[in-house]
Amino acid sequence: MKNSNDLKNEWANKKPKYSIRHKELFDSLSQKFGAEGDRKASLGKHFSNNYELYMYAFFLGLYKDEFEPIGEDEEKVDFSYPIHLWGRKSNRLDREDFTDLQDYMFMASFVKSDFDFIELEKGKLSIGKVIKVITTATESYANGGLQLIKEMLEDDANAFIAPTALMNIITKPLVTSDAESTMQQEQEATNVD
């Protein structure tokens, strides 16, 4: 391996996939090729681009520990856009650069992947094999997050209506037992910030 950035750059050149069964989520929640401001709102979209929904689903899956590999028999699709281009700066003043989010996705996928880094450094494990493992982790957490979103919307079609809904979904526990809920309330009551 030339340097540690090689691994991240190889991963960032990938076009991660998602299961075709989640295509309806992309159609209803995000805009292919982008939509900003009033156009996004008039289309009823929560995400300006498909990759924004994918990133959100990845972090939702990661935070909720929903690792769900796409089945071998499932059709996989992508939006023909490599990771390194997601959220790139453009001439629009309101566009944010997503480089940090790409880095966080890579780091999370990397640490959640099962391979021997020492074997990679020694050249006994190919970068291609490791990239496949890391990309599978990315896709699996995104797939898990997409499944959670799908289930939430099936339970409540208005789950994303509140202005803070996306933040609330990712930061709140999905289901807690009475004991966990009581313990969480006790911890919150005793925390001094």
pLDDT tens digits for 95-150? 566 788 899 999 999 999 999 989 988 889 999 999 999 999 999 999 999 999 99
- Using CA atoms, how far apart are residues 150 and 140, in angstroms rounded to an integer? 15
Per-residue model confidence as pLDDT tens digits over 160-193: 888 888 888 888 876 544 555 555 555 555 555 4
Predicted confidence (pLDDT) at residue 48 exceeds the cutoff of 70: yes
Buried b (16+ CB within 10 A) or exposed e, 144-165: bbbbbbeebbeeeeebbeeeee
Is the alpha carbon torsion for 110, 114, 119, 123 positive or negative?
negative
pLDDT category of residue 41 using cuts at 50, 70 and 90: very low
Q: Tell me, rounded to whole angstroms, the distance of Cα 40 from its chain centroid.
A: 20
Residue 35's pLDDT band (cuts 50, 70, 90): very low
Cα–Cα separations (whole angstroms), residue 187 to 63, 180, 184, 193:
20, 10, 5, 12
- Name the average pLDDT for the chain: 81
Instruction: For residues 106 and 134, give the distance between their C-alpha atoms in angstroms, rounded to a whole number.
Output: 8
Q: Is the pLDDT of residue 39 over 60?
A: no
The pTM assigned to this predicted structure is: 0.80
